[in-house]
Structure 1
Amino acid sequence: MKTKEFIQKCSCVLVLLFFFSIGTAQLVPKPAEAQQEPIVLIGGTIHTATGEVINNGALAFADGKISFVGKASDPAFDASGYTSIEVRGQHLYPGLILPNSLIGIEEISGVPHSNDKFEEGSINPGLKSFYAFDTGSGHIPTLRYTGILMVETIPSGGTISGTSSVMELDGWSWQEAVHKKEAAVHLHWPSSLSRSYDSDTKTTKIKNSGSYENRVQELEALFLAALSYGKLKNRPANLKLEALQGLFKGTKALMIHANEAKEIVESVQFAKGMGVQKIGILTSYAALDVVDFLKSNNIPVIIPPTYNLPNMDDMDYDAHYSLPRLLSEKGIVVALSHKGMLSTSRNFPFYAGVAAAFGMDKEEALKLVSLNPAKILGIDGRVGSLEVGKDATFFVSMGDALDILDNSLTHAFIRGKKITLDGPHQELYLRYSNKFGQEH
């Protein structure tokens, strides 16, 4: 009883500290206003994320859409009527897209009152994350400062945790920030193996899971019910079955979280057998064991950060550093994601930089955090690369955006809206460097 009271008191203290910090900390910068006049950025190096690099380029946009991408000297481009911004010596990139994230629905993991990522029950396909997205999250300024301008926000927990939403990192409310309300249903495929630690031998014992078949059968019954439900003309309200209909129509993707090669193969076969149109896999090194299967079935893969060490004795030291390259060379569409503390999501661009340092072409590495996640989430018609007709969602960096030493943003735009990059961290840096800084 005393322990329970102690935990309750500690929780209250954490909540009070959380709200105190909100009241005393700098707010997230004011949301940007819609683009008022046509703008052209001239003289920079444009990395289109399609593999093309344009030196001494020009990128023009009006009404939030890109109207020209090419050489500044191209006689076909008329800069009259555009407000010019000189970016000579700098680099232009499409806004980076962080998939499989809790940004916007979790603030402090240890403070339940500051997150909205869980729901009761294990089957929640109708749970949509955009309703809970907090545009005032303190994580947003730090992500924007490294070029991350969009996130796929997903619910957590259960077998089917919910339907993810793609959100732009700017706006007064979720209504202004939402880019795609329903992007993917996230399915955590049952584990076929169970692990237990033997303290006497200090080893991990692995054996087949006794519940695997039963849990797969439960999923089969659910999807069969959804298929039957979709054929009814006057169907009764059933939010769970209704939420799965987009999988069969191709309006949503099914993102399957699977850890082992067996689970990857069986989950994909299951989904295809049920008529799911778009399938993606969230996995790690196990993807290499079934790479031919993934290629033949045209299955894209989202993998964890390259900031990872080998977790098995027989793995190479650079197993995770080289994984994006090894999968891409086999023809797999690969995207990177973040895992761990939300505050370190800001390192997302540099995961691609590590892939480039371990043999991947730099422009191909850029696709890992831009065009490829856009393709997987079904939003590549609007974002993910710098092409005429797409949203003017991009940023300008003084140097290589994938290099932690060179990434230094000077401009950022989301649908043509000029984003304020400086946040609380920059304000504190200026405050204390002005007081305690030393001239060199």
Structure 2
Amino acid sequence: MKKILLTISFLAAIGWAGAQDNIYPAPAQANPIYIIGGTVHVGNGTVLEKAIVQIENGKIVRVGKDIPVPKTANVQVVNADGQHVYPGLILASTDLGLREISGSVRGTNDYRELGDLNPNVRAIAAYNTESEFINPLRTYGILLANVIPQGSLVMGTSSVVQLDAYNFEDAAYLADNGMHISLPSFIQRRGRRGGFGGPSAGNSNPAEAAQERINVIKKYFNDARSYFTETVHPNGKNLKLEAARPLFDKKQKLFVHANEVKQMLVAIDFVKQYGFDVVIVGGTESWQIADLLKANNIAVILNNTHNLPTMEDDDVDQPYKTPAVLQKAGVLFALNDNHVNSRYKNLPFNAGTAAAYGLSREEALSAITLNAAKILGVQDKTGSIEAGKDANIVISKGDILDMDGNVVTDAFIQGRKIVLESKQEQLADKYKHKYNVK
């Protein structure tokens, strides 16, 4: 009986995890495209009214008002009059394509490895382009994502993917852009959400237990640095130590998952001790040390703006105000949505909330476009609507940061006009047809 139930669960998982069979990745751009008449939000704070965006061979050629539009048969004109044109939104830290049915069907999840030290794990190798959650995100304007591994201590490397691909090779936008580590909590406390956690097993002092775990991470980096100074390796290549080479060569960033001030001070120590380019992921208490983060050139990815404060004596709206504090201090930051229930669709609305609590609309937009691109290392290719960059563009009927205005009518990834449809919409249409609902 158990075998039958397991088989049924597995088959159900396969059916659930399959992508829409009649929605295919768009072919490469064949003809010139001109988006005309829309309000273009460049992504760097500039707004152009009644502007034209010229796209050829997947790239943005020109952006402006006085661009002639050829009247030839092969030219595709997209009329965006009265609408808003944005850079494609970027999900800066996510398990999209790695986690499908949380908890109940383990076979659909491949986001975490066993053990504390997994620096050679590559998230891109497990990325599933058939995930049910990809297409719905595109209808909200999210066109790129940084897919990360999870685990304890050293988790592995993340990769930036574009959300219209047949397989992970096609999806890879920038592979292995950074290594991720997760820092243990230094304190045991209970706040509005129950606190950050308690001490590690075997040690009743949470600070000492945390330091022991951090020493494991430091030993790994010290061993890697010593390994790189050796010209001969009698035991052959050590894949775990080799994985840290791009960090020391400044070809990768170190993404430190941390929320507490004490954890972020450890991240600063990594900058001073190893010279790493560090990004804080989470950053709940980053507002308390914004000037220190700026002084050490540390960027921040704020995971959830829609959240309760950490402690009872924090302002009730502190999570909403934190982006404005970082902006004022000059800290490079991106907004994110890693909430497993909403499945990351609230990304633009997190930015909208931040705009209501101190950011301008264009600053909030930059936090999910150009800022995110800078942090992830893809600013030369995307994040803003500028000549020479990939044509990752979204057209919305209204303000994309507003729940009412976010009605995406067109989206382009590298100049390819993608299908804005999902299985959820297909099912809705199916039963509208059945019951003759218009």
Give the whole-Å Cα distance in 1 for the aligned partners of 2:161 and 2:414.
12
Give the whole-Å Cα distance in 2 for the aligned partners of 1:415 and 1:101.
21
Aligned to 1:69: 63
Aligned to 1:247: 247
Give the whole-Å Cα distance in 1 for the aligned partners of 2:347 and 2:339.
12
Contact 2:133 2:343 in 1 (8 A): no
| Displacement after TM superposition at 1:323 (Å) | 1.4
1:49-81: CA deviation from partner (whole Å, max 9, x where unpaired): 11000000100111111001111xx1xx33226
Aligned to 1:18: 13
Give the residue type in structure 2 aligned to 1:139: F
Of 154, 179, 197 in structure 1, the residue corresponding to residue 148 of structure 2 is 154
1:114 aligns with 2:112: no
- 1:255-404 matches, within 5 Å, as 255-276=255-276, 278-341=277-340, 343-404=342-403
Of 64, 80, 83 in structure 1, the residue corresponding to residue 76 of structure 2 is 83
Q: 1:390 to 1:311 in 2, by over 3 A?
A: same
Aligned to 1:432: 431
| Displacement after TM superposition at 1:342 (Å) | 5.7
Give the whole-Å Cα distance in 2 for the aligned partners of 1:11 and 1:282.
37
Aligned to 1:100: 93
Give the whole-Å Cα distance in 2 for the aligned partners of 1:28 and 1:188.
39
- In structure 1, list runs of 5 or more residues that go unmatched: 198-203
| Displacement after TM superposition at 1:19 (Å) | 2.6
Of 26, 32, 57 in structure 2, the residue corresponding to residue 38 of structure 1 is 32
1:137 aligns with 2:136: no
Aligned to 1:172: 166
Percent identity reads 38
Give the residue type in structure 1 aligned to 2:395: V
Q: 1:306 to 1:414 in 2, by over 3 A?
A: same
Contact 1:396 1:409 in 2 (8 A): yes
Aligned to 1:200: none
Of 201, 207, 210 in structure 1, the residue corresponding to residue 208 of structure 2 is 210
Aligned to 2:194: none
1:390-435: CA deviation from partner (whole Å, max 9, x where unpaired): 0001111111111111111111111111100011122222233344
Give the whole-Å Cα distance in 1 for the aligned partners of 2:291 and 2:6.
49
| Displacement after TM superposition at 1:196 (Å) | 8.2
Aligned to 1:183: 177
Contact 1:128 1:182 in 2 (8 A): yes
Give the residue type in structure 1 aligned to 2:171: A
| Displacement after TM superposition at 1:438 (Å) | 5.5
Give the whole-Å Cα distance in 1 for the aligned partners of 2:156 and 2:198.
32
| Displacement after TM superposition at 1:84 (Å) | 1.7
Q: 1:291 to 1:28 in 2, by over 3 A?
A: farther
- In structure 2, list runs of 5 or more residues that go unmatched: 192-196, 200-204
| TM-score normalised by the chain length of structure 1 | 0.90
Give the residue type in structure 1 aligned to 2:69: A
1:143-191: CA deviation from partner (whole Å, max 9, x where unpaired): 0000000111111112111100101101111111100111110011232
- 1:401-412 matches, within 5 Å, as 401-412=400-411
Of 116, 121, 127 in structure 1, the residue corresponding to residue 121 of structure 2 is 127
1:177-216: CA deviation from partner (whole Å, max 9, x where unpaired): 100111110011232224589xxxxxx9896433223222
Secondary structure, aligned partner of 2:27: coil
Give the whole-Å Cα distance in 2 for the aligned partners of 1:404 and 1:344.
16
Q: Kindly tell me the number of residue pairs found equivalent between the two proteins.
A: 422
Give the whole-Å Cα distance in 2 for the aligned partners of 1:345 and 1:112.
20
Cα RMSD between the aligned structures? 2.2
Contact 1:28 1:138 in 2 (8 A): no
Secondary structure, aligned partner of 2:208: coil
| TM-score normalised by the chain length of structure 2 | 0.91
Give the whole-Å Cα distance in 2 for the aligned partners of 1:298 and 1:352.
23
Give the whole-Å Cα distance in 1 for the aligned partners of 2:268 and 2:124.
27
| Displacement after TM superposition at 1:437 (Å) | 5.7
Give the whole-Å Cα distance in 2 for the aligned partners of 1:19 and 1:47.
40
Give the whole-Å Cα distance in 2 for the aligned partners of 1:126 and 1:281.
20
1:231 aligns with 2:229: yes
Q: 1:246 to 1:26 in 2, by over 3 A?
A: closer
Give the residue type in structure 1 aligned to 2:118: N
Contact 2:17 2:130 in 1 (8 A): no
Contact 2:181 2:254 in 1 (8 A): yes
